């Protein structure tokens, strides 16, 4: 609590609406499409909104309604929540703001000052908050979890859940399940021992902790040579999903440590670069599927798991779709963890396919060496943490993709030193993706570019591409009017026809979009909001 | 003009070039490394070593001739620590930056050696401005066209061997910023020019009449880079002496010298 600081003042009297966000409301988020109650829009994490006021026919009439300028120059990666006309988002690194969702007016700001020992690997970023009742929850880059009053921004509790000086951080939005707040830790570049944990929403008391790396005597520990499990990585830095019927929560885990030199950790290195399905009450592992065994490419599997109930090969099935950084698009049975399919959505050379049980088949010469080895996709993956979307209407799964680039991986000796980078190699991208700099704008499309790639979720076949000149860090939103919203590094925010990929509308927002758009409605008017550069933009139809 | 590194990954052994010496510990160098290394070399090394890499006695990067280094690791260490007692200073460059410089140095020896020497710059200028017809596309200071790369300072950044290769075989290796760009409009009109800018939705180029043109990609039938250079090869069209003269002249072009401020 000492480190917390209430900086901003309440500019208007506290929020006027105090309807509590009960667990039941979170469960039935689809019944109140005007709100955006969790990071990915619902427990299914489809980023698919039932709102239909904005349509392919009228989207050309979208107009900017307001802009909120953040004071941070850090990448603006948060997805906002909207509850009954009030928007909650995070200004990097760890300031929660409450805005009027109609005007963008600031109600209050809660400023958390992270410890100087915080050392997130890849930017002092945050991807959003969670809400339960009248309380907001935020993880911090110095690995605290804080609870803040949603009405006035006053801190309620603050717990330290891991040591920032060892490399632990929290960058993703927590997920509230029942009366608990579930959150994981980042730090895969520092040799942490990753975990997912649940905290009592009222008190902050830890209810359970699931280590992504099993300790001695636990199943899976045998997949780590020696005592390498102690610093084996397996971070969690993107928000998971939840199936209330199965009472399982699903999270993607990050790379093993050290990233590029597996000699120090012989074995498959469970449960890194995996999907883990955990009992939401106890934290006990129900099943796992490892996407990249013995990962030496930094292929974090921290993408968003997307749940869908579909007709799979003729019968209804609860599936989990996952577009992985490693270049494969997966379908798993989310009750059992059974591997259903894995299809490359970009060029993949680290594996040639799968055996009957879903283990990837690996060429022996596709592991890092001191001399360097080419691997597709490149180090940033075929996709990364950028939010995908699944539309049950089109049956398409939309992936923000990095296409046609690769990386040469060099293995280097490395020793573990607490709190210091523990990489064990250097990834060099053969053609620097991105046209953000002038020199790179002359690269050929075959030297790397971005795309919104629409895959038939049931077959894993590509349906269409919306090609971009630059690569993209922007998430995707779809709506029940078959619109798709996304953006990119070039400063455009755009709407596509979700069925065909045709460009229907665009706006210049003047900065890189490095988060997922979201949509909400207030007083019957639908808005679409997105961060670009260091500002948050909200659009609605011209009146 | 051409890029210094060869296209793709360059893997080669200096042992071949240096005969009896043992094979050196070299690794893969990737193209982007050499490109970034070239910029770092020009910012940090060129003052003493020169553009051609042969201005320090006993060292000639273009020929793979070093005094104290054999392996990549030697070069990495020398760039970092310098050589005490000599003019070679230590540098505060990152490991990746030093690796990029090494990749660039290694790429230099992968090129064919210069064939035309020494040449006469005055005769070369006459050829460039006359018989060679170079200024119909290129520009040198205030003269010539903007449709091709500006050569005003080509000698400051391009080694003689690169200039020579560009004259003889223009399409062999085109630097990315010099790739031509072609658009075909819906009505079938083809426009080829120099790319000024592009993004997901639009293209901006200078056409062959030196007009700035902007296009929405959605309005085009096709668009993209042209991998062939529009420049004709001069192989067989000029003599070896003439080639040497042109190279000598172009290598002498170091940009526009700043003019002293005029006092009233």
| Domains, in order of start, for chain A | 4-541 (2.140.10.10)
Secondary-structure class of domain B121-172+231-251 per CATH: mainly alpha
Buried b (16+ CB within 10 A) or exposed e, A115-150: beebbbbeebbbbbbbbbbbbbbbbbbbbbbbbbbb
Specify whether the CB–CB gap between A437 and B177 falls below 8 A.
no
In DSSP terms, A209 is beta-bridged to: A197
The 10 Å Cβ neighbour count of residue A268 is 20
Q: Do A442 and B32 touch (CB under 8 A)?
A: no
Q: From first to last of its 543 residues, what are the pLDDT tens digits of chain A?
A: 444 444 333 333 333 444 599 999 999 999 999 999 999 999 999 999 999 999 999 999 999 999 999 999 999 999 999 999 999 999 999 999 999 999 999 999 999 999 999 999 999 999 999 999 999 999 999 999 999 999 999 999 999 999 999 999 999 999 999 999 999 999 999 999 999 999 999 999 999 999 999 999 999 999 999 999 999 999 999 999 999 999 999 999 999 999 999 999 999 999 999 999 999 999 999 999 999 999 999 999 999 999 999 999 999 999 999 999 999 999 999 999 999 999 999 999 999 999 999 999 999 999 999 989 999 999 999 999 999 999 999 999 999 999 998 999 999 999 999 999 999 998 887 765 555 444 456 778 788 899 999 999 999 999 999 999 889 999 999 999 999 999 999 899 999 999 999 999 999 999 999 999 999 999 999 999 999 999 999 999 999
DSSP 8-state code for residue B260: P
Where do we find the tokens 């000029």?
Answer: B238
Kindly state the helix (H) or strand (E) to which residue B161 belongs, with its residue range. helix B160-168
What SS3 state is found at A304? coil
Q: How many residues does chain B have?
A: 264
Q: Where in chain B is the domain with CATH 2.30.30?
A: 180-226
Crossing angle of helices B72-81 and B95-108, rounded to 10°: 120
Q: Shortest CB distance from A372 goes to which of B27, B31, B32? A: B27
- The answer to whether domain B180-226 has CATH 1.10.3470 is no
Residues 6+ apart with CB under 8 A from A453: A345, A346, A398, A399, A401, A403, A462, A465
Q: Do B179 and A371 touch (CB under 8 A)?
A: no
Q: Do A428 and B198 touch (CB under 8 A)?
A: no
Q: Which among A16, A102, A96 has a CA at the least distance from the CA of A525?
A: A102
Q: d(Cα B176, Cα A104) in Å, to the nearest integer?
A: 44
Q: Where in chain B is the domain with CATH 1.10.760.10?
A: 14-108, 121-172+231-251
pTM exceeds 0.90: no
CA–CA min distance B27, chain A (Å): 5
Which of A95, A243, A268, A298 is flagged as catalytic? A298
Q: d(Cα A408, Cα B204) in Å, to the nearest integer?
A: 33
Specify whether the CB–CB gap between A482 and A393 falls below 8 A.
yes
- Could you tell me if the ipTM is greater than 0.90? no
Active site residue A298: yes
Cα B33 from chain centroid (whole Å): 15
Q: Count of CB contacts below 8 A, A vs B?
A: 63
Q: Which among A227, A239, A354, A243 has a CA at the least distance from the CA of A289?
A: A354
- For A328, phi then psi, to 5°, come to -105, 145
Nearest CA in chain B to A371: B27
Secondary-structure class of domain B14-108 per CATH: mainly alpha
Q: d(Cα A458, Cα B129) in Å, to the nearest integer?
A: 65
Cα radius of gyration (chain B): 21
Q: Is residue A260 within 8 angstroms of chain B, CB to CB?
A: no
Q: Which among B241, B240, B196, B198 has a CA at the least distance from the CA of B223?
A: B198
For residue A426, list chain B residues with Cβ-Cβ distance below 8 A: 95-96, 99
Q: Do A428 and B32 touch (CB under 8 A)?
A: yes
Q: Do B32 and A430 touch (CB under 8 A)?
A: yes
CA–CA min distance B242, chain A (Å): 33
Specify whether the CB–CB gap between A180 and A198 falls below 8 A.
yes
Longest Cα–Cα distance of chain A, Å, equals 66
Q: Do A443 and B176 touch (CB under 8 A)?
A: yes
């Amino acid at each position: 609590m000492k480190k917390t600081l209430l900086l901003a003042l309440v500019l208007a009297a506290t929020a006027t609406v105090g309807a509590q966000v009960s667990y039941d409301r979170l469960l039935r988020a689809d019944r109140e499409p005007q709100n955006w109650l969790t990071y990915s829009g619902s427990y299914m994490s489809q980023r698919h909104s039932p709102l239909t006021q904005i349509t392919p026919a009228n989207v050309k009439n979208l107009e900017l309604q307001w802009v909120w300028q953040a004071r941070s120059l850090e990448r603006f990666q948060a997805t906002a929540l909207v509850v009954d006309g009030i928007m909650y988002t995070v200004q990097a690194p760890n300031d929660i703001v409450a805005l009027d969702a109609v005007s963008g007016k600031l109600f209050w700001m809660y400023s958390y000052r992270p410890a100087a020992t915080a050392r997130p690997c890849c930017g002092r970023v945050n991807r959003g908050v969670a809400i339960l009742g009248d309380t907001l929850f935020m993880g911090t880059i110095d690995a605290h979890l804080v609870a803040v009053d949603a009405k006035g921004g006053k801190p309620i509790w603050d717990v330290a859940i891991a040591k920032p000086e060892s490399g632990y951080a929290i960058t993703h939005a927590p997920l509230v399940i029942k009366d608990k707040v579930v959150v994981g830790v980042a730090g895969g570049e520092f040799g942490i021992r990753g975990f997912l944990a649940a905290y009592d929403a009222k008190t902050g008391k830890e209810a359970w902790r699931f280590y992504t790396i099993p300790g001695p005597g636990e199943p899976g520990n045998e997949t780590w040579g020696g005592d390498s499990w102690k610093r084996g990585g397996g971070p969690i830095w993107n928000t998971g999903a939840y199936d209330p019927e199965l009472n399982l929560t699903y999270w993607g885990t990050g790379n093993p440590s050290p990233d590029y030199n597996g000699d120090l950790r012989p074995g498959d290195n469970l449960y890194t670069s995996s999907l883990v399905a955990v009992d939401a009450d106890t934290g006990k592992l129900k099943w796992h599927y490892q996407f990249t065994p013995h990962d030496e490419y930094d292929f974090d599997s921290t993408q968003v798991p997307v749940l869908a109930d579909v007709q799979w090969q003729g019968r209804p099935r609860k599936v989990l779709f996952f577009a992985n950084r490693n270049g494969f698009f997966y379908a798993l049975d989310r009750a059992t963890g059974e591997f259903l399919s894995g299809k490359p959505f970009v060029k993949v050379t680290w594996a040639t396919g799968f055996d009957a049980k879903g283990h990837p088949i690996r060429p022996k010469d596709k592991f890092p060496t001191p001399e360097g080895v080419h691997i597709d996709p490149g180090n940033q993956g075929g996709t990364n943490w950028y939010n995908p979307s699944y539309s049950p209407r089109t049956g398409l799964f939309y992936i923000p993709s990095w296409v046609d680039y690769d990386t040469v991986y060099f293995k280097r000796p490395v020793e573990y030193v607490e709190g210091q980078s523990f990489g064990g190699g250097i990834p060099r991208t053969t053609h620097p993706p991105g046209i953000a700099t002038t020199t790179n704008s002359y690269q050929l499309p075959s030297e790397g570019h971005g795309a919104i790639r629409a895959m038939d979720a049931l077959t894993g076949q590509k349906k269409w591409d919306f090609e971009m000149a630059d690569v993209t860090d922007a998430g995707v939103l779809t709506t029940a009017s078959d619109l798709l919203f996304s953006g990119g590094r070039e400063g455009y925010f755009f709407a596509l026809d979700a069925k065909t990929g045709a460009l229907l509308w665009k706006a210049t927002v003047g900065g890189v979009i490095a988060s997922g758009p979201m949509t909400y409605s207030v007083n019957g008017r639908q808005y679409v909001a997105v961060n670009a550069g260091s500002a948050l933009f909200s659009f609605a139809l011209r009146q | 003009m051409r890029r210094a590194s060869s296209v793709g990954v360059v893997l080669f052994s200096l042992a071949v070039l240096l005969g009896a010496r043992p094979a050196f510990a070299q690794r893969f160098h990737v193209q982007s490394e050499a490109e970034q290394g070239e910029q770092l070399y020009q910012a940090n090394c060129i003052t003493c070593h020169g553009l051609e890499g042969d201005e320090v006695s006993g060292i000639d990067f273009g020929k793979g001739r070093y005094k104290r280094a054999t392996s990549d690791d030697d070069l990495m260490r020398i760039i970092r620590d310098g050589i005490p007692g000599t003019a070679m200073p230590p540098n505060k460059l990152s490991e990746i930056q030093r690796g990029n410089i090494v990749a660039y140095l290694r790429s230099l020896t992968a090129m064919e050696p210069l064939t035309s020497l020494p040449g006469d710059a005055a005769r070369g200028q006459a050829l460039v401005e006359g018989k060679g017809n170079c200024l119909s596309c290129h520009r040198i200071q205030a003269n010539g066209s903007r449709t091709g790369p500006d050569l005003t300072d080509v000698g400051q950044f391009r080694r003689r061997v690169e200039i020579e290769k560009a004259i003889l075989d223009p399409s062999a290796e085109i630097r990315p910023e010099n790739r031509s760009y072609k658009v075909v409009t819906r009505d079938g009109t083809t426009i080829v020019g120099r790319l000024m800018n592009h993004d997901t939705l639009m293209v901006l180029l200078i056409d062959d009449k030196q007009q700035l043109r902007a296009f929405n990609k959605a309005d085009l039938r096709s668009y993209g880079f042209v991998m062939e250079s529009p420049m004709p090869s001069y192989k067989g069209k000029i003599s070896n002496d003439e080639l040497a003269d042109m190279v000598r002249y172009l290598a002498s072009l170091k940009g526009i010298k700043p003019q002293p401020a005029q006092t009233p």
